Each structure stands twice: as structure tokens, then as C-alpha cells.
Structure 1
Amino acid sequence: MKNLFYLTVVLIAYGSLFPFEFHTGGLSAAVWDNFWRSWRVISSRGDILSNVALFVPYGLFGMAARSARTPVVGRFVFLILTGALFAFVLQLAQLWVIARDAALQDVGWNLLGLVVGAGTLLRQDFARGFSGFFASQRFSFPLLLLLAWLISLWLPFVPTLDLQVVKNALKPLFLDPVWDTGEALLHAACWLVAISLWQSMGRDGPRLVHVYWLLPLTLVAQLFLVGGRLTLGEVSGAAAALLLHALWPSTFEQRARTLLVLMFLAVGFDKITPVQLGENRFLWIPFEGFLTGSMLTNVQNLFEKFFVFGALLWLARASRLSWWLSTVLVTGWVLEIEVFQSFSVGHTAEITDMLYVLALAFYLRSGWNQEAGAADEDVARSGRYSRRRQHVLDAPSIASREGKPLPAFSSIAAQPPPAVRGVPARPDLTLSTGDIKAALWALLPGVIVIAIVLRLLLELPGIPYNVLEMFSGGGSVLFIAVFALAVAWNGAGSAFAGHWLSKRRWGLLALPVAVFGSALVSYLLLKVALTAETLADLSGGSVLNYRMTQEKVWGDFGASVFTFLNSTTILPIVERAVRFVALVGPLFVALVALQAAVYKVRERGGMSGMVSELGKYLLYALPWLLLCKYIAFDESSTDNLNELIERPGTFGLGGGGYLYALVFLLSASGVWLGWAMRSGGRRLLVAAVAAIVAVPLGWWLLNQGLVERFTKYHATYSGVDFFLGPDRRNRLDTGTLFMRWSVVQLGMVLSLAWGIRVFHAFSGPVLAAAARPWGGAGRHEPVVRGRTAPARHYPG
């Protein structure tokens, strides 16, 4: 319950400070005077209701999250005091938010909502019932989904007996009927799921026969609600759901699998139709679509998505899919829909839906862990598997639709086969809730610090102009935070790819997959954080379509093929991604190869053989490094980087060779420091000193790799001046440039080490297992869900 309270606090702050466009100037005396007088301003009815409703969950979950030792009245007073301070701080912060109007009167309405929410749970029986409702997900989650579905149909809950309202609601059905296949299919699937949700509550919930009058009553009720309307697709879908359910005498489990497929098809068809190809802006800011436009429509969509996404996860778990597979399956499907919508006019493509799915999935995961943990307490007390343990971990037989309830979140515990004598089990990447929390604690503070530091640095004088203009949203802290995630991914993603690569038998084929995959994720994050001009300056624009259709480098046949494929839409997107991957490919090759080699040698119980393993992976990567060089430099579509790289000089080695050596030096320092953070003490000290000592070497490699003198736009400067100086005309002395480079190099090394540390926190048990030799003597005990199970003895 505390997690729900903390989530409520975050969402309230997010909604109050949206769209995160701040002005940094001072506030005039008139602004402050208007603010202190704003408690007298009369707000509209909609603003009053929204401000009251905003803090109702704060009071509800705040009271429910109290410990048993805290007095009820004391908790109530504490929530009022902290809530008043929280609401006041938010209104104060809105003074610096562009397009937001701060008003002290809103604090009073927020407090009213808090009192309503917290006052509901002042009575002990209400508080116990509220906490017990959320503690039993087998009952609460299906009921929450049903309520969300009804709310999406009945909003805004304003009843009326006006005959004209009834006529208006029936007009789309009788006077102007329009058939919408997507709407009919979606409503049929949703009502079939609603019936299954109704059944899943079993003896704790209503009887099955009640659903046959609930469904038509739900439709009829819309006739007597302001804004209600019945469409041909909605009524047809509901009728089809009742008919199919009556003619479908299958078990719950069989029905869950079929309904899962039906829901996937219905949601996909409804979200992508009608299809009208074209460019569509993707909303990267969470809840941007929800916080703009008609709030009533947005709230209806919010509850409908809660039902749809929650139902998909519920059906996946009811089909005995694991939690991770269910989450990946639903999130991946929603991602595909959003990607398609970004190329279809008339749809809203946004990141919010995927975050919505992940939030629901983690909520279900926490509830399932609580059930399993309670069952483990029974095991500890009795020394054997109790009935409760059997209920949680075993998958019982599913009765027919008139039978027992469906245990929506139960599954068979994923138990690996016991270790055969002499052949211990290979450690795999397994995760627990504790690992996820540890990773978040390692990730989020770093993201926040980087975002704040970079935002403050952008305000300083003398910052290079290419840095000032690189971030999207005019340097908004939200986009800088996404950039910080991309920085963390360089270390964490390469660590994950290295771990995955070390487990593959065919390293020659697996290495490009690991490198390309991790670099592509980095590109997607940077595409959000940085401006299109910045990415184009780095990796180049799209020229392949021009060369094929205009220059006809493949002749008339090639030009006709590219014209037929309509390559002006899809090909530039792919080409820009490939060019970026080719540019950063050497960095990820070095990071992935280094960490794969570390994993390999740690599996053998030491660090011997590190050079041979690393050499093997670098040999595998050699053809891909040459391909990256060919795409990024030999056939580049921009000269911004090429013109700054030194031509062949000492030892016949061009500047690119020195820069690749610099990339490897930074990667090696970051990997060394990241792994040393796990051990701490002397190893961490040695790695930190080595990273500092490597700064002069990095400075020398940088100067060898970049030109010493270059003239452009009537200005003469060096490559180092371009990267580290404020602009082309104001040159800095060598000492200042070296100090700036020291900060850049150490910052890059620390960021790589930080990302690696995040992955280590995410997969701590795996690394501990990998540190032990697999083939050593002694008995290996299988690990079940993060706990060591009793060793099983086999004869012979």
C-alpha cells in the first residue's frame, strides 16, 4: 500500500508541473502580489472538482499505508499537515511553469479532497476492508477491471430523465447507424472478458446468472446519462458476446487462451484502423495526450485503457504464461501498435500506453509476490507445503463456467531441473523484486543528478554552442533525463549484451546481434533526447534514396524498385539508424567484447585467460569494425566529423586509428571501474587511480586523432578547439582545454561504470553464481525463485 501512496504522490506532482517548461527569470512584485491574493479568486466548477479529486487518492492510500502502531488520528493529522505543505509547494512551483496558473485557493480544494479520502478510512472496519480489498488480487483486480469498464461507458455519471437526451442517445443506433467493424469486435471481446472477470470472482463475488441482466442494464443506463449514446457496433458487440458465451461451454483455461488472442486482434484492429499512411508526431512526454484536449474524453480513454491492458495481462497470466512473458508480450504488442500509429494520420502515437502496461504489470507482480510470500510463511511454520502454498504455487484444474473461480495470478513455480551429479546447473539471468528495486535505486539518483547538473551547466556562460543546441525541448529537464538514461544504457546495455554473448556458443554470429541491439536502443533514447539536427550532424542524414532514385547508382532497375517501395518514408528512418549504429559501433564493440570476456573468465573462477578471450571477441568483431568505418566515414553523408579527423601521419596510422584506440581506452577504464564497484576497497581504489592516470593518455590520443589546423567559415581552429571550445572564434589555451577534456573523459568513464553498476544491481544473484566455478566438486543445490531448495539425492 505504501507503493501506491508513493506512486500517487509522484503522479500528483507530475500532473501539477506538466508540461515541465520552466522560465528561469525572477518574478516581479506584481506576480507575487497576485499569487498571495489568489485565494479569493472564484474558480470554475470543473477546476474545483478536479482539484478535489486530485487529492482524494492521496488521503485514501496515505491512511491505508499507515503502520499498525500509528494511531489513526495521528496519521490523519500528519496527512493533513504534509498534504497542505505538499499542495502549497506545488502551487509555488507552478509560478515558474509556463502556461500554468498558480492559485492559493487550489490548496484549499486539495485539502478538501485529502480530508474526504482520509476521512473515509477513519473507521477501523472501513480501513481493514480497504486494505484487505487490495491485498487479495484474485478478487480485487477483476473487480477493478469491471469497474473501469463500466466507468468508461458511464462517464460523466450525470443522470437525467429528459426524453430528448434519450432520443439523442438512440439516434446513432436507429436514425444514422454506421457500422464500425473495429468497434464491434472490440466491444464483443471486452464483454466476453468482462463475463470471465465476473466468473473469476466465484463464490466471493456475484453469481454467473447476474451477468445476463448486468450487460443489457449497462447499455440501457447509457440512455439516461448526459452524453450517453448507443452505436450499432457497441450493441452488436454486446449481443455477440452474450451469444458466444452461451454457446461456448469450454473451461476457463481454454477460454482464457482464446480470449487472449481475440483481445490482441480486437485491440490491434481498433487502434490501427482506419489506415492512412503519413507522418504522425510521436508523443514522447508521458501523459502528454491525457493532459491536453477534452479532459472528459481523456478520462474515458484512461479507464478504457486500464480495462484493456489489465485484461490482456490478466488473460496472459490465466493462460499460465509467466509474469515476464506476459509483460513482454503485452508491452511488445502495444509498442507495435504505437509504432504503426506514428506512420498513420488520425491516430495518437504516445509512450504513455507502454508505461501504463508496465505499471499494471508491476502492480500485479507485487501482489503475486505477496501471495507467494504468505505461502512461504506457512511453509516455514509447518516445515512442509501447506494448502495455501499449494494454492499459490500449483496450477489447479480449471472448472467449467459454472464451477470454481479462476485463480488469475497463480502459476506453477518455475523450478529448474535438479542438478545431475557432476553436471551442475548453469546460472541464468533471473530477476526478483529485490533486484529490480536495487537497480532502480542505482539508476534513478544518477539520472536525477545528471539531469540537474546538465541543466545548470547549460545556464553557464562559455558553454559550446553545439552543446547548448543539442537537447530537444529547448533543453527541458525531461529530455535531459532521457539523455541520462541513454548514458546509463551505454554501460548497462553493453553489460547485458556481454552477459548474453558470453552464454552463446557461436560468438562470431552472436556478437553483431549483441552490438547492433544495444546500439539501436541507445539510438532510440538519443532520438528522443537530442534534436534531429544534432543527430544529423553526428551520423549524417539520409542520402541513399537520392542516390538510388536520382543518381541511379544501381541503374534504372534499382531506381524503379526504390520508387515502388515508396522509400521516401521508411528508408530514411532505417538509414539514419544504421548510420548512427555504425558511428557508435566501435564503442559498443569494445564494451561488449570486454564484458563478455570478463564473464567468460569469471565463470572459470579467476581472471586468467582474459587477454585470449578478449582477443577472440575482437577478432570476431574485425569485419564489423571495417563495415562501421566504411558506412560512418568512407561513405558518410556529412563531413562534420571527417574534416576534423587527422589524415595518415606517424606510422602511417590515420587519426581514426588513434580515435578507435581512445574509444577502447575509455571502454576499458569504464569496465574496470564498473566491476571494481562490486568489490570495493582496494580494487576500487586501484581502478579509480588507473582511470585518472589514463587521462593524459586519452588527451594525447585525442590530439593525435584530430587535426591541428582547420579553416572553415573564415575561421581557423583545431579539432580539439571545435569539441571543447565555446565557439570557432574564441580559442582557449591548452591548459583550459586539457582541464575540460579531463572532466569529459572522467565523466564518460564514470557514466560507463555507473551503467555497469546498474546492471550488476539488476542481476546480482547471477553474478554471484557466475563467480563460482561450475565444474567444481561438491553438491550443487537447485535454486527456486531466489531461495535454495533442499538438495535432492539420487541413487547410484
Structure 2
Amino acid sequence: MSSKHPSAQKNTGVLKEKSPTSRLPAWVFFWAVVVFIIYGSLFPFDFQAIPAPFDRFLDEWHLFQNIPDVLDNFLLFVPLGIALHACFSSLRARIIASFFSILILAFGIQLVQLYLPSRTASLSDAFWNTVGMGVGLLIAARVWRALQKRLIHADTAAPQQDYFPMLLVLCWFFYESFPFVPTLDIGLLREHVKSAVFAPPFELMRLSQHWLAATLAGCAALKVHGLRPRRLNLMVIGAAAIFMEVFVAYGSLRRETLLGISLGLCTAYGLEIGLKNQARHAIFWLALSTYLLTIFTPYRAQPWDASFTFTPFSNLLWHGITKDIPPVAFETLAIGIMMWSGSLRAGRKQSFLTIWVVGILALLSLLEVLRVFFVGYHGDTTPLIVALVLSPFALSASTAMIQDEDQVVLPASTAQAERENTTTHLTPSPQTSDSHLRVEASIPLNSATAASHWRWLLGSSLTLTLALWILLHLPGIPYNLKKIFGDQILLGASIFSLVLLWLGMAPWWLAQTIIRRNAQKRHILLWIPLALLAMALISLGLLYFATPEIMLNKIIGAPDLYRRVVTEDYWGDVWRLRFSVLPQALVETLESSLRYCALYSLFMIPLTLAALALPKTNRLARLIGYSLFLAPFWYAAKLVVIDNAITDNLVELIAPNGNLFLFAIIILLALHASLMAEHLYRARTYLKPGLMSLAMLPLSWYLLNQGIDTLIVKDGLVFSGIQFILGENRTAPISEISLFIRWCLLYTSAVAVIVMGMLLAMRIFPAASLSKRRRRSKIKHSSTSNNSLAAE
């Protein structure tokens, strides 16, 4: 088989033509994200003529002063990064677009917030916006690859997209989720959900309204050519609506709302499955019933005066009352569904659809007369204007019906290529001799592998979270450990589990990057310290979300350098003058970050060297070379953490000349964890690692006793350092055997956590030396399969 198409794939046994992919959905998503960012950042648009001082923007330097605000700003820009990755194909275009996006949407909007008295312009907010967009760019490829499997594309035989149902679903979101500004402020959320927890009287009318609206929106969502199978459309919009109900802290959260949304979406799916093509009749009558609720009840809080206003949206235009938007969205949804139901008739003609839309307009006029002259409520032209706006969408509605469930018909060319791709091809590799054959994968494994990685990460995180939660509820644990997560034990434990996994993942990734770049003859010595710094900062960022700052300061010490330099002339007059012009919050943040990075490097460097020692090729030369290179950084970290510690919480526990013994424990831990991870990854027997662990326990216990002071006098109390670390408190001593058992559990847990992280990293970044046996197995299996096919 041959082809001269320029987009043919050269490295596989099958040559596919690469179908062009429209970027229109990506641009639609991009502009939707931009509009949401502007709207969410400037709401409620209460501008004032005189802006706040520009210094207020520069003074807000503290990156972790308000954790809910940090999460808001970070998460707000993650979709922007995903959208930029989808809209632009080249790296240069993405960098330029990212620069202008940050300049306009992050810094620009923060400066505009100086004109909003209800907003606080902050430089730290712009920083977290930038970080969020960067994370979005990094994860975009995986996100779009995951959606690739579920989206119904233009290169399939799916019918042409009908955008009218998408508009109706958007109206439902306006009804349920306006004003679309979520919050992570714990106080606001607590007040918001209180009405759902304390269960006020159950309102059947409220349940009916939300059930009807969700049913209509669900019926429209099932006709959107979005995800397959179709029920995923309902799951996505349902999850989004419930999320917005909980986290948009306007009004009160009610049980009736959540229950109505869930029941309504289930009803929509039941109607579609049970009635199929006849569902249009039920959809119309449900929409009419929904609209009649607004006729016979003061749904928009209109007065009972039997009068009529010709100005549409009068409360919004005259008085700026935005609370009328959800009721109008409710009416718009009902009117739109009534019009749209006519397009669901099989075999209908355009003339029928025109007559149908005109009939709906006449019906709405009649019902408005009924509202004013028979029921007696105040009426206006709002429903008629809404109907006139929706009429063009209804008249242009697509006649095509969506494919049933998972069945998506592929074009002939694509189907033929897929059939050909089911055969395993063996082609000679230009890098090898003719006696060696290169195996070309017939089925792409990237998506399945990525899903497996996420499952491993989620499973490991849940396991560690559960273990931490159980540990913190056990009696007799150290009193400082009980307070490590403050009041948010479950949230803190879940985030801290990622910190623990990262302690094993980061060294392996760094070691494999070093090995690969060395093989490519690239110079990376200057890059290694920056990588160590970045990995420590990632861990610090997670810790700030997991533990209260006061607990972190007990380990690394509260920042005090600014006070010492400015008020005590710690470094002389020159440095005092230089520090006095800097924001104190900035200096304290940098100091805390530096001290934590130094502490983290004491563990990170030995773990990286241990991972570098695993491959046998040039092991000794590689280990000696990088040990000599990283030794000065390790010594510098020791100077910051121990010799120039700002708190004595750790230093007072170290025995005279005990540093070497404690460093030996760290090196022992690194070697033990690395060897265990490699052994388990190769799926060998568990006898050897078990015996190795049994030997390490007494050795580490001996080193601990030599490194920790056995007699400490503080605050009138005399206690042992090991007693303080492993015991419940200073005043309740426990036996030596109990201390040894506790140390064995602590050491084993530390090894297990690092091994879990390394095993996860090995699956994501496999080493060549660890995957040779698997690669040979795949070649052998492929050769066997090829022989079987030839025999057939």
C-alpha cells in the first residue's frame, strides 16, 4: 500500500490521511472563557469615578494570605490555558498569546478593579492567574485527548450540529446558576448551605419548578451532538449545575433545588429512551406546563394590579434589578422548548415549522392576555420579545436526529483505515539490522495508559488520605501531629497525600531527565539546581493548602529576617536601607520559601542520587560525578536549616555531633526506598525486600539514638528527644520497646510512601533499563501474533 499524501504517517505500517480539524469549537470555548473571566472579575460592576491608589495593587504581595482567593484566581485561569493550547498549534503562537492574555486578562483586569470598591486589586491575584493559565497549558493536551474519545466529530457521519438546543441549555444555567460567580470562602459557603443542612419546610412548588426546568434542559442536552454516549451530556450539565448551586453563594441552597435537578435530568433520559421519536409530544406539554406556572403565579414577583407595561425587562432596565434574570431565563427556556419541539417532528417541512413558530407566538399573546385580564397579574412584553428573538433559531433548527447511543457511523475511508489498522505490522527499522524487526503498535495506547496513571494516582492518594485520617484519630499520637491540619482534617489529609507522593515522584523524574539528557549530550548542570528549587516550591505550594501556616512555621521557623535587618541592623546600614524599601510581606514570603526549599533539598538530593544509582551502566562514574556536584548544594541547605535555623524546635533535639547520624538516616532511607521501588517494579519476589527492610529497622534505630539528644531540659521539664518525637507529649513517657515499635512504624511508613511515589513515577516516566525486558516481551508477543496471522 502506498501513498504520497504529505500527511501520511511514515512510522507505522498503515498510512492514514490526516483529516483537517476545525478550530471553531476551540475559539468558541476561548471567547466563552474570556467573557467569563471578565464577568467574574468585575461583577457586580459597581464602578466609581475615582480609582483606588495604585500602591494598593503593589502592596498586595502575600501569595498565601487568603487561600480561598488563591484557589479562585488559580482555577479561574486554568480553562484559559486549555483554550489557548487548543486555539494555537505552534509553541511560538502559544507563548505570544499567553503573554498578551496575562497582560490583558490578569494584570489589566486587576488594574480595572481599582475602580471597583467591592473588589481588591492584588498583584498576588495576577500571579495566581498566571500560574493557573500555565497549568492549563500543561494539562491541555491530556484534556483534549480525553475529550477526543467522547466528542462526536465532523469527520463522522453524525448529523449537522443544531445550536438551538445548546442555547436552551445555556438558558437553564442562567436560571439555576446566575450570577455565575463561585466562591471558596468557607464562611460564605457555610451560610449558603445552612438552609439545606438544617432543612427548612419542604416546598413542593420549588421542587416542581426545578424539576420541570431540568427535564426540559435535559431533553435539549440529549439532542446536542456533544459527547457519546448521550447520557454523558446529562451527567456533565448536571454536575456543573450542582457545583454552581453549591459554590455560587447567592441566595440559599435548598434541598428542593438539588433534588429537582437530579430528578429532572433522570426524567429527561427516561422520556428519550422510553418514548424515542414520540418524546416531542411530552416535551411540548411539559414546556407549556412550565410556562403556565409563570401565568398563574407571581413568579417574577409582579404585582396583582391587572396592568400592562410595554417596556420589556422593565425592572432590569429601569432599576437595575438583576434578580429578575433567573425568572426570565425560566420563561425563555419554556418558550424556546415549545418552539424547538416542532423541529423534532419526523419528515416535517419548512412550511410546517414556520406555521408552528407563528402558532407559538399567537399562543403566548393569548396567555399574556390571560395573565392580565383573567388572572389579574401585571404583564409586559418580555415574553413576546423573547419569543421573537428565539424565532430565527427555531426556524433554522436542524432536521437531523442524533445517532442512537454509542453508534457513530464512520466514513468509508476512516473505516477502511481502522480495519487495516487492526493488523500488527512488522517493518524493518532503519536503526537496526535486517535481523531485528521493529514492532509498530496497531492500536494507540496513550489514552488507556494515561487513564491508568490517573487511576494509580487517585488510588494512592485515597489510600494515603484514609491512612492519615485514621492516624489522626488514634489515641496516643504526638500532640503536634493532631493539629497538623487544623480543623480541615479530611481536606488537609487529601492534599498532604499529594505532598507525600511528590516526595517519591520528583527524584525519579529528575534522575531520569538527567540520564536522558546526558545520553543526548546536553549540558544540564546549571539546570539541576533550578529543577530542585521548582520541585521544592511545588511541595511548598501544596503544603500551604494542606496545613495552617503556624504549623509550617513550627518546623521551618516564622520569618524574622526583615525585622532583624531593618530594626536590629543585622547586616549593617547598607542592607537595612535596601530592605526598608521592600514590602515586608515579600521578604517574609521569600524567606519562608528559601528555608523550606533548603529543608526539602536535604531529602531531595539523596533521593535523586539514589535514583541515579539504579541503572548499572556507568553507575559508579555517574554517582561520583553528581554527588560531587550536588554536595555543595546539600551543604548549603544544611547551613540554612541547622546552622542558621530561626527556630530551635528541631535544632534543640539534635545531639552534639549528631548531624552525621541524622544525615546517615536520610541516605539510608533514600537507598532503601529506591531499591524497594526498583525491585517491586520488576515484579520480583518479596523475600529480598522484606529481609532488607528487617535489617534496616535496627540500623536506623541505632542511628536515631546517636543523632537525637537523650537529655533535654526546657521549660522546667526534662525529657528525651526521641520521647518528644515519638511520644504523645513531654510529660507522659513510654517504654523503650514502645518507642522502638513506633519508630519501626514511622520508618516503614516513610519508605512505603516514597516507594508509592516512585512506582507511580516509574509508570509515567519509565527508565530504559527498567523497560528492556518488557520491550523484548512485546516484540516476542508481536512476532507470535504475526506468525499466527500468517498461518491463518
What TM-score comes out, normalization by structure 1 length?
A: 0.49
What TM-score comes out, normalization by structure 2 length?
A: 0.50
User: Larger Rg: 1 or 2?
Assistant: 2
